[in-house]
Amino acid sequence: MLGDPIAHSLSPVLHRAGYAELGLDWSYDAHRVPAGRLAAFLDGLDEEWRGLSLTMPLKREALVLADRLTERARLAGAVNTLVLDGAERVGDNTDLPGAAAAIRERTTMPLVSAVVLGGGATATSVGLALVDLGVTSVRLAVRDASRATETVGLLRSHPAAPEVSVEPLADGQWSDGPDPGARDSSVDIVVSTIPASAQTPDLVDRWRDVPVVFEALYDPWPTPLAASVLDGSGDRVVVGGLDLLVHQAALQLELFTGLTAPLAAMREAGERALAQQNPA
């Protein structure tokens, strides 16, 4: 696992649990690699290495260092997985299918319209996954519209050509923003890629009528948005950041090993690790 910062990552826990369950004597470690240093790290690897997981700020840096890109990595404009196939480096992105699998594990309801809170790399990958699942309209709710330009372009480049729009994250933030205090029940799923500290009571209440909530964070848990589902009544569904992390890691493991990932063992390991980090 490469990135900066990296110490907080649960990926080593998940992958090690998967390899142990499969009876593989493999190692998986976290290495702090700052921006601009990925090429040097790759040059120092030998034939024992089978693959790498990448997090920020290396996902876009890896695009130009891969010998070949999968279509989903090209579509996302980011690589979170490098498969070392002999002398070839194959850049892939398991965030897209991982997000889709996480959603479908929790709900089978048809999804047509979505709101994504935030406009960064995670918003891009989950947004593209939603389009893969049939979403035709994506609204990005952001503080600064100019910072969502790349995400808007990538979402619109999907072969399904979804309708993509940008709106303010907070009520009254822009002159053409939503009515203050108004709830929004016009979408099927709301995805949060923003910090828990940014999930104000007004923001949480605005999305209280949306049937599916996808919270990309797994620590802290639950975030205010996730808690509004878990503490409520009715048939609302929450998809958590651990769901996303486990599914994308399982897909990485399968790319590295060629074996079916033990999803349950990986999830259990992640749940134990989070419980130890955040004792009740």
Active site residues: 59
Mapping DSSP to helix (H, G, I), strand (E, B) and coil, where does residue 197 land? Answer: helix
Q: Which residue has the tokens 């992390």?
A: 245
Task: Give the separation between CA 122 and CA 48, rounded to whole angstroms.
Answer: 31
Q: Which two tokens stand for residue 122?
A: 């995670």
| Backbone Cα Rg of the chain | 19
Nearest Cα to Cα of residue 69 among 50, 87, 53, 88? 88
List of residues 6+ apart from 37 with CB closer than 8 A = none
Number of continuous H segments (helices) and E segments (strands) in the chain? 10, 12
Q: Which two tokens stand for residue 153?
A: 């372009």
**C-alpha to C-alpha distances, 220 to 55, 103, 105, 226, 249, nearest whole angstrom:** 19, 20, 22, 11, 20
